[in-house]
Structure 1
């Protein structure tokens, strides 16, 4: 039966689908038309065929086009779905953040309540500014606070602790505040207990000391928790008292001076190693020869030029001088010396003949006896115009300038005893000679040099033997033997200290035990030991070392890995890090610290979110003091955007006064400020400067020292010791200058990844910047007055950079009153 096509009009419907009567009528009339030949059936059939073909063709074309478009569209969708699937199978990314992605639970109500309380309980002068409130209310896991000199960072940090404990309910044992020195720790504890009392909380000294720590006092309990180390002693704190009663010694771990108890351990280790290791003995021999040799003088040195004129006359009387000096040594029982062959040997010095007293075969060196300082300086030969001491001084200068043979000049009977012990192989009292590593300002006992060099290397996060293995020196450079001997000695010393009862360990060794190089050791610590590190606040962060940075990162990673279970049932959750510092006040690079970790905070301490705060207001100094200090330091690399502004109403603006060194004039001005009731800081670069100036200000020193310590208005300190202090008037004695180049420190700086790429002397470059920062620290101690007394140049300082080179001429914040540079 034909299919119904509803789209056709009824008059075109097929015959079979018509009603019966219409179908009969159609057939009757169609048959009649055919009989009458009025209808041509073939044409109709032919037309029907043509129409069918035409319709079919059009329909196919239309259908093809319609279907093709629909197919393409459908196909395109299929292809897009297939293209979106990666043909690769990459691994999931590593989450290197030190913290979970969380926020401090700070509501608007808590902020409002604290601000109201601060406004009610603290005086107007102690009200935080907008930037300080930003630091207090930082809610991100990590916070970096750039706080310039006098920015009120300590007070703000105390308010931050109050927020965490009083308003958010954090337990005290979940917090640690880190300061770098005993003095800053004591000062911060006093501020903290005072502020807590205002809020009605009694914070005991014990709780405060548990909260406010140095890095070193936090690492010691970690190591003592390990089996066998319960009574471990820190080498840096080692003294007679600590050995007797196991008392905690609150010493300065950055003080590298060796006390008697420490020296006993150093000497005992040296003796054992010297006795047992042939290689170590072989290395000590060239070091002792170099150390004992007479040091050279340049021929253009003023002393050489002055004494060259009497060379021929001195040579004529030299044998008689040798006899006179030798007689003094024989009478003192100091000559002859076992191990030294008493053999006169002639030398030609500047064309004339002089003599020595003996020869040391083991060192292949000649010996000249000197004039012992304890002898009467007026002793002279018969009929001689000069004293023996003066004749000896002429000879010594000529030998220093013109003798190129290995020569040991024994200056005293005491030094001869040390040489005797060394030559006899008796190392029970240590090496017995001083040494000077290239780049250091002065010589020191050999073992002190070992401690200083090893501490510097370890502060950079390096292992001493591994670092030494990467160093290189010229074949005849004595430092090559020094560092190889250090490698052997340092490993032996660590073993020797651990063998003591109780065991002893250096702080650097402790930090290395729990650094990123040994993360498995942190698994041994209990939650209770780690929990105080959960919310860490660090002051003076610009002075942190690579070694301590590695320990902090490893500790924070371990805390995060332990997860929420570590904080169950407590108000303090997860972990955070807040670091406060000022890269312009980074002045401890000589011990291995670096401002890099503060300047690149986001890179060094990976976090889901970091708050950055800039505390630009200076609550201490007037604008001229600030501008002068910043002008000096601005040549050093720094965090961008730093510019301090004096807080409060503008007062009298006094320039920084720069003078030529004049101790008498300085003393007169200092006494005047003291009479006016001002507090005074006298800052010096060298200990000898303090002694010199005290001769002129003895009346002030005597009057001030009779007062109780808190009431004293005069403090005499080094530039480095003055950080955190302030005074109405500051007197700066001496320039800040980079005087030496250190080949070994440049090498280990590169090993530690410090300095700029391609810089062959990264440590020296850092020190040239540091002298500018040191001057900045000195100037910014001043509230009102600053006087800077600058030495003239000497032979040692020619062509070496110094901070005073940056003193600006024609600027209102400097008054340069030096001869030839008068600028007001």
Structure 2
């Protein structure tokens, strides 16, 4: 029986299944024919072809079926493997953290030991709360501490430093504590030395000063380490003192006053640029014209309404008035003025004819001479009922309201000299005229305006020429010429300052050199210079500017990139950032600061892990003070969940008293509190208010100023200057009101990415919130009593928001004594 071969196709099976002897005979017969070469070649070839074809077909079919079965099985295995993998291509993610993923090595035993030491060495009232301990013992790379007014943050911050140094062995030169002003730095240094002494760690004044810095005093050594800048001076610290006397000077970032040494450099740069740059000269001319032109007055202004009635009478006497005033100017040697044609031109005001005194061809403007304030105000024309000064005042008001021709009104002989130097192109003493950028409250010397505008732009982390190139103004807006001139001047000033011996640089320029825009510059710094930035503790962080934030982030990124090698053999390892602030006390937006970096701390300072601490206890004020201040500020955007509670020794509850402006009544009440032994803060919004109130509080001022400094109980400050201070009784003079709109600041705010998307006036929006925060700061200075004297609503600013609009009615924490109280 033939063996069955199931592996062969059916077509080949008959051959394979022949009996074996037949197959053997066929094989011998085939071999014989082959040896005899007896095959019929044609038949053989034909058979070969047929066999090849049939064999090929059978083989392909067989192979296909077998291969298909094997392929399906292998395919199932391949699919099973591929199902376990992602077919999507994804590159590794970028680690944008500013810190390594690490923790402070705080054991339970270490915490227990420190708590025992604090309980033993500090009095009962100074023992930290649970929230304060959370701040002290934060072990994450980054920590944000929301510390409201009177939260006792200074003591807590000193205890944090003690933890790092005394208990963990961190070196002092691995850390920096940043305060914003000279005054706050001095106070913190004293507290630090006192506390370290209690722990048996003597700290010298020099050591404390090295640790507690302003941002400005930390950036200066960095720039001085660069080749050629070893003796660099900061423009803000320039003075006429001997060289080297600035080593211990810290610039106050909120002091905009320009001293003589700084002005000398500004004037010298202006003089050179004015003489060398034709475009700059062209830009100054419309600025001078705009600055000197008589400012318009609204026609519904009370002075205009009062003097319109005498327009016709004033016109009849105008030629005689012109003669009288010209005589005074001629006698003073101030008239005629070179560059002004003494040509009387007539103007029509409400149908009546008036005259001017001259014409300036280069300005295409007419000139009217004013009544110099040094002249006798009682001088009269013959048979006139009014004085020359009074007649002139009527004419001036009418021209302000109704004259639309370009008109320069020379108010004084001194002003004529400045105009003369401007017309003569004499730039040796600077521009010689004031200017008012739209949105600013007052005019200022042109170069002061340049410094202020450039400072604001740079504080936002922007380059002045680049920002100016992205601004836009109406064709006839003088600010268009102002900012183009600023762009030319600022670049020239930076070059001029660097050419000095030794070179000079602004602090903003220093921060920009080591910001995120120039990370390669940080590579040039030694480990010793960078190490103090490793463990940063920053107070008043809500007042930080974008420029400073960029520098901090760049420094932390560089420290991380250098890795463990930077810390070999040292107790302090890696880096950390602890920021203490209160977004409700952010009141320096007009200088370019923004609370958004504190409010969005986790986004702005990315970290593997962050600790957030809310210090809600207020150890300064009673609950009515707290609630009144928070009611005012709560309308502004803020970190959610904030609500302070009075802590410490209980105090009698007194409401915040809101009163009509009455300087005499204020003086009497202030004297009563002083005579009771209270400490007093007299806070004002404008310097003119300080002058007005002085006569009413002079007796108290005389008594207090005769005492030793440490025994004095009366301080007079602006709202802004009072931050960090406190007193038993606080007197607030003046409302907090947003009075103007700033087109240029709105533009650069948008460039800096500040404000909400779609808000065309983000700076103005921020300022409307800031007036509420300013009132909060003022009120929370009070320990027991707060009196707020508010002016009636100004008819010229009736649509501009005021903080006092938020005073609540029917609440225990406010008593509104005004005749027509505003609804909350």
Q: Do they fold alike, i.e. is TM over 0.5?
A: yes
Q: Determine whether 1:712 maps to 2:722.
A: no
- Cα distance in 2, alignment partners of residues 743 and 216 from structure 1: 30
| Contact kept? 1:237, 1:253, Cα under 8 Å | no
Alignment of 1:11-90 (within 5 A): 78-90=78-90
Aligned match of 1:567? 567
The answer as to whether partners of 2:805 and 2:822 remain within 8 angstroms in 1 is: no
User: Which position in structure 1 is the counterpart of 2:238?
Assistant: 238
Inter-partner Cα distance in structure 2 for 1:71 and 1:368: 105
Corresponding residue for 1:204?
204
Q: 1:307 to 1:193 in 2, by over 3 A?
A: same
CA apart distance, 1:76: 5.9
Determine if the alignment matches structure 1 residue 694 to structure 2 residue 694: yes
Structure 2: 5+ residue runs without aligned partners?
1-67
Give the match for residue 434 of structure 2. 434
The 10-residue stretch of structure 1 (84-93 or 446-455) with the greater mean CA deviation from structure 2: 84-93
* C-alpha distance in structure 1 between counterparts of 2:76 and 2:671, whole Å: 93
Gap change, CA 1:72 and 1:147, over 3 Å in 2: farther
Q: Residue in 1 aligned with 2:648? A: 648
CA contact 1:671–1:700 (8 Å) conserved in 2: yes
**Within-5 A mapping of 1:40-189:** 78-189=78-189
Q: Which residue number in structure 2 is paired with residue 615 of structure 1?
A: 615
Residue pairs, 1:562-711, within 5 angstroms? 562-648=562-648, 650-711=650-711
Cα distance in 2 for partners of 1:579, 1:593 equals 15
* Contact 1:719 1:778 (C-alpha < 8 Å) held by counterparts: yes
**Cα deviation 1:275-298 (Å, max 9, x = unaligned):** 011101111111111110001111
Which SS does the other structure have where 2:681 is aligned?
strand
The more displaced of 448-457 and 793-802 is 793-802
Contact 2:755 2:762 in 1 (8 A): yes
1:287-322 C-alpha deviation (Å, 9 max, x unpaired): 111110001111111111111111111111111111
Q: For 1:572-624, what per-residue CA distance to the aligned partner results, in whole angstroms no more than 9, with x for missing partners? A: 00000000000000000000000000000000001000000000111111111
Instruction: State the distance in 2 between where 1:398 and 1:159 align.
Output: 66
Q: C-alpha offsets along residues 616-647 of structure 1, whole Å, 9 cap, x if unaligned?
A: 11111111111111100000000001111111
Which secondary structure does the structure 2 equivalent of 1:664 belong to?
helix
SS in structure 1 of the partner of residue 418 of structure 2: helix
Secondary structure at 2:491 match in 1: helix
CA contact (8 A) 1:242 1:249 kept: no
In the other structure, the counterpart of 1:782 is 782
Question: How many pairs are equivalent?
Answer: 757
SS at match of 2:631: helix
The Cα of 1:250 is off from its aligned counterpart by: 3.2
Distance 2:692 2:108 in 1: 60
* CA displacement at 1:254 relative to structure 2: 2.2
Quick check: 89-98 or 564-573, which moved more?
89-98
Match of 2:335 in 1: 335
SS in 2 for 1:796: helix
Q: Give 1:77 shift.
A: 6.3
Tell me if structure 1 keeps the 8 A contact 2:145–2:581.
yes
Report deviation, 1:244: 7.1
Partner of 2:797, secondary structure, is coil
1:383 maps to 383
* 3-state SS of paired residue (1:792): coil
Using the alignment, how far apart are the partners of 2:249 and 2:648 within structure 1? 42
Q: Establish whether residue 318 from structure 1 lines up as the match of residue 332 from structure 2.
A: no
Q: Does 1:499 align with 2:499?
A: yes
Residue aligning to 1:423 = 423
Deviation at 1:87, TM superposition (A): 3.2
Look up the SS of the partner of 1:716 in the other structure: strand
* Residue 245 to residue 142, structure 1, CA distance change in 2 (3 Å): closer
- Structure 2 contact 216–250 (Cα < 8 Å) conserved: no
Alignment of structure 1 residues 300-319 onto 2, 5 Å:
300-319=300-319
Offset of 1:185 from its aligned partner?
0.3
Any idea what SS the aligned residue of 1:408 has? strand
Equivalent-residue separation in structure 2 for 1:305 and 1:821 (angstroms): 29
Q: Which residue of 1 aligns with 2:65?
A: none
More off after superposition, 345-354 vs 96-105:
345-354
CA distance in structure 1 between the partners assigned to 2:244 and 2:134 by the alignment:
49
| CA offsets 1:724-757 (integer angstroms, 9 cap, x no match) | 1111111111100000000000000000000001
- Aligned counterpart, 2:728: 728
Q: Is the 8 A contact 2:633 2:772 kept in 1?
A: yes
CA spacing shift, 1:76–1:809, aligned 2, 3 Å: farther
Measure the CA separation in 2 of the matches of 1:299 and 1:807. Answer: 33
Decide whether the 8 Å contact of 2:807 with 2:823 is kept in 1: no
Which sits farther off after the overlay, 625-634 or 85-94?
Answer: 85-94
- SS of 1:485 mapped into structure 2: helix
CA distance in 1, matches of 2:244, 2:103: 48
Is residue 807–residue 822 contact of structure 2 (8 Å, CA) maintained in 1? Answer: no
Indicate if the aligned counterparts of 1:454 and 1:464 stay in contact, CA closer than 8 A: yes
Whole-Å Cα distance in 2 between the matches of residues 351 and 460 of structure 1?
51
Whether the 8 Å contact between 1:176 and 1:535 is mirrored in structure 2 is yes
Alpha-carbon spacing, 1:497–1:72, altered in 2? closer, same or farther (3 Å)? same
Q: Distance in 1 between matches of 2:76 and 2:193?
A: 73
Aligned-residue offset at 1:822: 10
> CA–CA distance in 1 between the matches of 2:812 and 2:148?
22
- Structure 1 stretch displaced more, 642-651 or 278-287: 642-651
Q: Tell me if structure 2 keeps the 8 A contact 1:817–1:823.
A: no
Number of the residue aligned with 2:488: 488
Q: In the TM superposition, what is the alpha-carbon distance from 1:650 to its structure 2 partner?
A: 3.9
Secondary structure of the structure 2 residue equivalent to 1:563: helix
Q: CA deviation at 1:79?
A: 2.6
Give the whole-Å Cα distance in 2 for the aligned partners of 1:69 and 1:644. 78
Within 1, Cα distance between the matches of 2:632 and 2:247?
45
Matched with 2:746 is 746
2:237 and 2:246 in contact (8 A); partners too? no
Distance 1:329 1:198, change over 3 A: same
User: Cα deviation per residue 1:772-819 (whole Å; 9 max; x = unaligned)?
Assistant: 000000111111111111111123321110100110000111111111
Alignment of 1:746-765 (within 5 A): 746-765=746-765
Per-residue CA deviation, residues 365-392 of structure 1 (Å, 9 max, x unaligned), is: 0111111101111111111111111111
What is residue 282 of structure 2 aligned with on the other side? 282
C-alpha separation between the residues in 2 aligned to 1:77 and 1:814?
80
Q: CA deviation at 1:72?
A: 9.9
Which residue does the alignment assign to 1:539?
A: 539
TM-fit CA distance, 1:253: 3.1
Deviation string 1:710-730 (CA, Å, 9 cap, x unpaired) is 111111110000111111111
Structure 1 residues 266 and 630: alpha-carbon distance in aligned structure 2, compared to 1, 3 A threshold: same
Please give the residue correspondences for 1:457-468 in structure 2 after superposition, counting only pairs within 5 Å. 457-468=457-468
Instruction: Specify the alignment match of 1:46 in structure 2.
Output: none
Q: Distance in 2 between matches of 1:237 and 1:541?
A: 23
Instruction: Decide whether the 8 Å contact of 1:746 with 1:760 is kept in 2.
Output: yes
The answer to whether the 8 Å contact 2:145/2:580 transfers is: yes
Corresponding residue number in structure 1 for 2:445: 445
- Structure 2 CA distance for aligned equivalents of residues 802 and 403 of structure 1: 33
Distance across 1 between alignment mates of 2:305 and 2:614: 57
Contact kept in structure 2, 1:815 and 1:823, CA below 8 Å:
no
| Contact preservation (8 Å) 1:242, 1:248 | no
Structural RMSD (CA): 1.7
Q: Distance in 1 between matches of 2:247 and 2:657?
A: 48
8 Å CA contact 2:104–2:139 kept in 1: the answer is yes
- Aligned residue for 1:241, secondary structure, equals coil
What's the counterpart of residue 264 of structure 1? 264
Q: Which residue does 1:516 correspond to in 2?
A: 516
